Structure 1
Amino acid sequence: MTTRLVEALIPEYIKSFSCIGSACEDTCCAGWTVNIDKETYNKYKKVKQPTMKSRFKDNLVKNRSNPTNTNAAKMKMNQGNCSFLSREGLCDIYNNLGEDYLSNTCAIYPRKNRIVNQIFEQSLTVSCPEATRLILLNKDGIKFEQGFQELKIRSLVSLLPEFKGEIKDWKDYFNEYRYITISILQDRRYTLEERLLILGLFYNELQECINKNNLKDIPNILGEYLKCVEDETFLGAFTEISKRKDIHLRLCKELVILGLNQTVTSKRYLECLKDMIAGLKIEDISSDEDTQKLYENSYEKYYLPFMKENEYIIENLLVNYVFKDCMPINGDSPFDSYSIMIINYALIKIHLVGMASHRNEITIEMVIKLVQSLSKTFEHDPKYYDSIINLLKEKDMMTLAYLSILVNN
């Protein structure tokens, strides 16, 4: 992996990250497919060291149906683990051949590299436990640095060609959307759920503008929301909104059922899921009313007090998501992108409330374990999120995805 001097926009936490190897409570070498890029695959075919040559021959599966530069082959998995994962939890390829022989997938993870509007961006994904701690546990919030940086770069994806000054698509305002979204998420004059409500109003209005093909009105919307937030126009604006815990619970039960239908390989997530289901008695013969009472009691007794002290944790998670996934251009439309973010939030919330009901507490360690394992299980499976969006549309529940955040007494 070469080091280059590039113009970059990166979160400050990037500089503090380093893999903790076998000391990690999870492994990135299990639970998903390990794709091998074409350049690395060709390197492996030329390896002359007898033992490694034999292992590559036995454990590399060539992609014969649809080979690409990024997916020329994949590793065979041994009981869910990469065939080159040692008993000590280390990589045999790295130990025997060095870093240059790692595939792009393995060399980059948990980093995410891309070019956006001609600027290099790098972030971390929360499917790595150490990255999760680094991202979530900064009480001062995520800060960003822009300028020329010496960074290790490998395998870039380019998004959004350089803007030429003529607005032709709603995505041309990407920098403005991101700036406003992160600014609102980090504005601690408002509760986190108030911030999410403001964003819901913003993205709904933006969506209506796009649906009517009134792109020229977008700058006015951007300016109005920035001014309203800065002037504290929204302070106290949501106190009269009905608190619909039944809607939130209905949405989350649908999401949990959908999740249970997926193939789950993460033992850490299955432990969280088991605690949540037991805490809310979702698979029990209990009625919806009983489940709702369990939810409300746990929410009041454990979730709400914990979040009053540690709301910055979820703030950091959402800010990192917005930056890492280039919200809102990661969805088919701005409001679809917002809905996906709210789905992430709703899933974390229902799990934590259920886990707290079962364990009679919420700890920072529980949050880290849940966020990391949930991300590793579902966020790396685009089909899961497609299924969620389709489910919500089929059941006319897109509004519920929005209303699900209105759980705040």
Structure 2
Amino acid sequence: MTTRLVEMLIPEYIKQFNCIGAACEDTCCSGWRVIIDEEAYKKYKKVKRHEIKSRLEKNIIRNRSNPNKNNAAKMNMEKGRCSFLSEEGWCDIQSQLGEDYLCNTCAIYPRRMNKINHVIEQSLTVSCPEAARLVLLNENGINFIQGQEAVSIRGLSSVVNTSKETITHWKDCLDEYRYITILILQNRNYPLAERLLILGMFYNELEECITSNNLSRIPDLLGEYLQSVEDDTFKGAFDDISNRLDLQLQICRELVVLRLGDGIASSRYLECSRDMMQGLKIETNSTDKEIKEAYEYSYAKHYLPFIQEYEYILENYLVNYVFKNCMPIDCVTPFESYTRMILHYSLIKLHLVGMANQYEGLTLDLVIKLLQSMSKAFEHNPTYFEKIMGLLKENGMVSLGYMSILVKN
């Protein structure tokens, strides 16, 4: 596989990642489609070795309806597993033909590559269990390193070039947005919920700059929030925010029901979802009051003691989310991007509180299982979040007030 020396920005955990194969709790292809790019498809057509050639001919299904260079064909899946996955959990294409024969989908995952202002950024998605452990379980937080690395560049998820001279579009300040977002998320002088509320205020003001066509105000806004966070200006600023747990539970329950209605192949997430619903008594004919009481009891008794010690896990999840998704330019507007992140956070918290009640406590293994399987079920499903954003907009809920309710404990 050809590599070349390029300027890269990566989290430190990247250098520690290796596939653990058969030891993995949830194989890469389980429950997903494996899309084959045009280059790989042409390689498969030229394979001469009889045994693997016949398997390729049988199990690769050509895309005849709308083919393109990234989607020329797909793998046949047998009971949710790729046809080329061995009983030992390894890829037969790689073992028999070599890594160069992997399609982009398999060669890249669980890595994600973006090219931002001529710098290659690589991260891991936590939908892979081993990646999840590396990303989430570092008590000291995620650190980034920049320098030249020899790397094979395949399947860039995003290519972004922004203006460095003058701001002609709000997305021109991507580097600055991400810097201050990650800085706030990693500021442990505040509880994580308060850090998210500070970000809500920042993205709300940023949205106002855009809607009023006052882009020249953006650099000052960035500077003000940078200074405010360093000065602890926001200490105690959120004490008076009302706790609307009833509304929070209603919104989160509807999000879960909508996703389950779409169909989910991940047995690991379905187990977590079942545990959450049983823990909060959602599956029974319980009243809203009983569900609320179950949530409040579990939150205070089981969730809070655990998360006070391991809050860095959720911090790391959010920092990784911001970096790999190029937040906030992953959405039409910055506040929509913030809203999407808060939806992820709220759903995670809801599941963890319910699971904590079901198991009378949380463990690191349970949290990793939830975050990994939930990432696989939710983060890799853009259609679901398009539906959610549409529903929230229709009901006027893409606002700082509603997001504050979802963040507030």
TM-score above 0.5? yes
Deviations 1:55-97 (CA, angstroms, capped at 9, x unpaired):
1111111111111111111111111111111122111111211
Give secondary structure in 2 for the equivalent of 1:22.
helix
TM-score normalised by L of structure 2: 0.97
1:309 corresponds to:
309
Judging changes above 3 Å, is the alpha-carbon distance between structure 1 residues 229 and 134 closer, same or farther for their aligned structure 2 residues? same
Give secondary structure in 1 for the equivalent of 2:152.
strand
Task: List gaps (5 residues or longer) in structure 2.
Answer: none
Q: CA deviation at 1:153?
A: 2.7
The amino acid that maps onto 1:373 is S
The amino acid that maps onto 2:37 is D
Aligned ranges for residues 195-214 of structure 1 at < 5 Å? 195-214=195-214
1:12 corresponds to:
12
* 1:118 and 1:162 in contact (8 A); partners too: no
Give secondary structure in 2 for the equivalent of 1:149.
strand
2:153 corresponds to:
153
CA distance in 2, matches of 1:158, 1:192: 28
State the percentage of identical aligned residues. Answer: 60
* 1:251 and 1:401 in contact (8 A); partners too: no
The amino acid that maps onto 1:3 is T
2:80 corresponds to:
80
Judging changes above 3 Å, is the alpha-carbon distance between structure 1 residues 65 and 402 closer, same or farther for their aligned structure 2 residues? farther
Deviations 1:89-140 (CA, angstroms, capped at 9, x unpaired):
1111112111111111101110001211111100000000000000000000
CA distance in 1, matches of 2:163, 2:332: 20
1:173 corresponds to:
173
Aligned ranges for residues 7-406 of structure 1 at < 5 Å? 7-399=7-399, 400-406=402-408
Q: CA deviation at 1:162?
A: 4.8
* 1:117 and 1:163 in contact (8 A); partners too: no
Judging changes above 3 Å, is the alpha-carbon distance between structure 1 residues 395 and 158 closer, same or farther for their aligned structure 2 residues? closer
* 1:339 and 1:402 in contact (8 A); partners too: no
Q: CA deviation at 1:199?
A: 0.1
CA distance in 2, matches of 1:158, 1:380: 15
The amino acid that maps onto 1:404 is L
CA distance in 2, matches of 1:330, 1:115: 14
Deviations 1:19-73 (CA, angstroms, capped at 9, x unpaired):
0000001100221110101111000000011111111111111111111111111
Q: CA deviation at 1:156?
A: 2.6
TM-score normalised by L of structure 1: 0.97
Question: RMSD value over aligned CA atoms?
Answer: 1.1
CA distance in 1, matches of 2:91, 2:151: 23
Q: CA deviation at 1:157?
A: 4.2
CA distance in 2, matches of 1:52, 1:188: 54
* 1:209 and 1:217 in contact (8 A); partners too: yes
* 2:170 and 2:210 in contact (8 A); partners too: yes
Deviations 1:293-314 (CA, angstroms, capped at 9, x unpaired):
0000000011111111001000
* 2:278 and 2:358 in contact (8 A); partners too: yes
Give secondary structure in 2 for the equivalent of 1:383.
helix
Give secondary structure in 1 for the equivalent of 2:262.
coil
* 2:182 and 2:319 in contact (8 A); partners too: yes
The amino acid that maps onto 2:82 is C
CA distance in 1, matches of 2:307, 2:112: 28
CA distance in 2, matches of 1:241, 1:104: 47
Q: CA deviation at 1:164?
A: 4.7
CA distance in 2, matches of 1:361, 1:164: 50
* 1:2 and 1:154 in contact (8 A); partners too: no
Deviations 1:314-333 (CA, angstroms, capped at 9, x unpaired):
00000000000000000110
CA distance in 1, matches of 2:266, 2:154: 28
CA distance in 2, matches of 1:209, 1:155: 34
- The number of residues matched between the two structures is 407
CA distance in 2, matches of 1:368, 1:51: 39
Judging changes above 3 Å, is the alpha-carbon distance between structure 1 residues 390 and 162 closer, same or farther for their aligned structure 2 residues? closer
CA distance in 2, matches of 1:231, 1:51: 67
CA distance in 1, matches of 2:157, 2:317: 23
Give secondary structure in 1 for the equivalent of 2:8.
strand
Give secondary structure in 2 for the equivalent of 1:153.
coil
CA distance in 1, matches of 2:311, 2:337: 22
* 1:34 and 1:75 in contact (8 A); partners too: yes
CA distance in 1, matches of 2:276, 2:309: 22
CA distance in 2, matches of 1:86, 1:298: 42
Q: CA deviation at 1:392?
A: 1.5
CA distance in 2, matches of 1:224, 1:298: 38
* 1:269 and 1:374 in contact (8 A); partners too: yes
The amino acid that maps onto 1:403 is I
The amino acid that maps onto 1:335 is F
Q: CA deviation at 1:395?
A: 2.9
CA distance in 2, matches of 1:378, 1:162: 29
CA distance in 2, matches of 1:350, 1:291: 12
The amino acid that maps onto 2:403 is A
Give secondary structure in 2 for the equivalent of 1:114.
strand
* 2:112 and 2:122 in contact (8 A); partners too: yes
Q: CA deviation at 1:170?
A: 0.2
